Amino acid sequence: MIVTLSRIIKYGWRGFLRSGLLSVSTISVMVLAAAVFEGVILFNVIGRSAVSSIQEKIDISVYFKSNVHEDSILNIKKSLEKLDEVKNVEYISRDQALEEFKKRHADEATVTQTLEELDINPLLASLNIKAKEPSQYKSIAGYLENADLQDLIEKITYAQNQIVIDRLVALIATLKTGGFVLTIFLSFLAVMVIFTTIRLAIYSNSDQIGIMRLVGASNSFIRGPYIIEGIIYGIIGGILSFLILVPIINFISPYINNFIPEINLRNYFHDNLFSILFYQLIFGVGLGIVSSIIAVRRYLHI
């Protein structure tokens, strides 16, 4: 069995070398498909970090009328925390809001002087609400627009942030869909190219296949080299796409880090080096095996 397997691998490697330029074009498409596949994985990592970073900067602020008691506001806070969409609710009292306002404008003499001349605190108590997902702010805003709360609430800032939130949700969805569609397209293209390569190899070796049948070679021995050839395309394509990604990741990592300080793509890539390479190989070998099996079943009538 070991001898048979070694011969199958040998013939598969020989067929790969015999294909010449056709092998080069096949591997090129495989490299492109595998690189886009890995790009989608890395984009998901970046996308999650970007969403988390931006989400921390986006919230809904609910300002209450000056005559609303603190107990009423805290009761509303508790009711909001029970919502599945809500991640966190922060209560900011009027005194706390005034202190934070003074700190932000400590260098502005006019603002400081104006506050000192006022006998009352002009700022309102508020609740800062963060959702678990950007798409859930609309639902939270709808809850706050309940008629029972209208006599207590002075202003809700969702309308001011709605455009930013909606654009963020739409952008993430579009990029994910685009990456997925591109991966499917290139995977299909890679399968078709390998399929064509194996088909041409079967046609060019038709006489040799006939002789193998006459001498009693098993079906698996005849089919095996073409499956091995597809696996070779997948392995080489996966490794090359990985090697191409290394300098690209190192180059773009500082720019992504400037945009999203919470993520260092270079460190993530290096920390997950072997798992990323493994995914690349599984993807490439999977495409190679699938396309080879389809071609063998379609054109190798034994």
Judge whether 103 and 115 are in contact, CB under 8 Å: no
Unique residue bearing structure tokens 């029972």: 148
What is the per-residue pLDDT across 280-300, written as a single tens digit (0 to 9) for each? 889 888 888 888 787 777 766
Task: Identify the pLDDT of residue 77.
Answer: 92
Which stretches in the chain have pLDDT values below 50?
none
Task: Identify the pLDDT of residue 78.
Answer: 92
Judge whether 192 and 298 are in contact, CB under 8 Å: no
pTM, to two decimals: 0.61
Cα separation of 247 and 201, whole Å? 35
Task: Identify the pLDDT of residue 104.
Answer: 78
How far the first Cα of the chain sits from its last, in Å, is 21
Tokens in use for 219?
A: 């079906």
Task: Identify the pLDDT of residue 162.
Answer: 65
Task: Identify the pLDDT of residue 28.
Answer: 82
Unique residue bearing structure tokens 């498909």: 33
Beta 126-131 vs 86-92: how paired, if at all? antiparallel
Task: Identify the pLDDT of residue 51.
Answer: 65
Tokens in use for 145?
A: 């627009």
Task: Identify the pLDDT of residue 165.
Answer: 63
Task: Identify the pLDDT of residue 59.
Answer: 79
Rg (CA), the chain: 31
What is the per-residue pLDDT across 111-151, written as a single tens digit (0 to 9) for each? 667 766 777 778 889 999 988 877 788 888 888 888 678 88
Chain centroid to Cα 230, Å, comes to: 28
Domains located in the chain, CATH noted: 2-54+168-299 (no CATH), 57-161 (3.30.70.3040)
